[in-house]
Amino acid sequence: MKVTFKLETFEGPLDLLLHLIDKNEVDIYNIPIKEITDQYMEYLSQMQELELDVTSEFLVMAATLLSIKSKMLLPKPPVIEYEDEWADDDMDDPRAELVQKLIEYRKFKGVAEHLRGMELERSLLYSREPLDLAPYVPDVKDQPLVGLHVDDLVRAFRKALRRLVGRKFVARIRRDEISVKDRMAQLVDLLDQQGGSLLFSKLFDENDITRDDIVVTFLAVLELMKVKRITCYQHRLFDEIVIQAREGGTFDGSGQAEIDY
């Protein structure tokens, strides 16, 4: 029966070289290329004896080591002294490129081991899906005027006035003036017709509106807010002002409120 062994110790030729360097306790910047090459070739022989597949990258590294070993055996050229500096010995060292690759590989291997440790720690923790805590939130009624300032009403008032600028009236028919009390009653009836909610801008007729209408309507809105018959709010900053009817107010449209104008 054929038995195949799979070695998972080394992930590549650089991993094997780092193992040999650490095992022999040698300086990575001054690798004894002869000893490391012999041990590397011996490992490849063991892999072949165990009928393990020797990948091409291991064979390429073996050829590289043999090439470096042969270059190390050649006599070194004489050192040439220049005027202000010496030639860099690392430029002539055939091991320099291999050393640089090993240093970079060691850095990435260290980062990978650190991430693997973090993965192991996280695998020991178990979490549950977040629960819907909405049923446990206390039902607190918000202040209806939160976020609404008197400046918002003033801006709405000015916006309504600006609609009159530039209008040309062919003829003007004087109509009877309406009091604030009557306008309040009209607004209450209008809110009832609209289901209790209405935009402030919808209080004015675009085709027939005067300054008096704007002023009376604006005062009527303030008085209804004062007697807590309506509330005004905005969904977001600078948005349309919404007028909302309230229950329990003191004004019911029958003229009970004491308003003299």
Chain segment 207-230, per-residue pLDDT in tens: 677 788 888 888 988 998 888 888
The per-residue pLDDT for range 97-111, each reduced to its tens digit, is 888 888 898 898 889
Pairing of β 242-245 and β 230-233: antiparallel
Q: Is 170 helix (H, G, I), strand (E, B) or coil?
A: coil
- Report the pLDDT value the prediction gives residue 212, as an integer from 0 to 100: 81
Given a cut of 60, whether residue 241 has pLDDT beyond it is yes
Q: Which domains does the chain carry? A: 13-75+84-123 (no CATH), 150-245 (1.10.10.580)
Q: Is 172 helix (H, G, I), strand (E, B) or coil?
A: coil
The per-residue pLDDT for range 116-127, each reduced to its tens digit, is 999 999 888 888
| 179 and 261 Cβ atoms separated by less than 8 Å | yes
**Span 5-10, average pLDDT:** 52
Predicted structure pTM score: 0.38
**Span 225-243, average pLDDT:** 86
Residue 79 burial (C-beta neighbours within 10 Å; 0-12, 13-18, 19+):
exposed
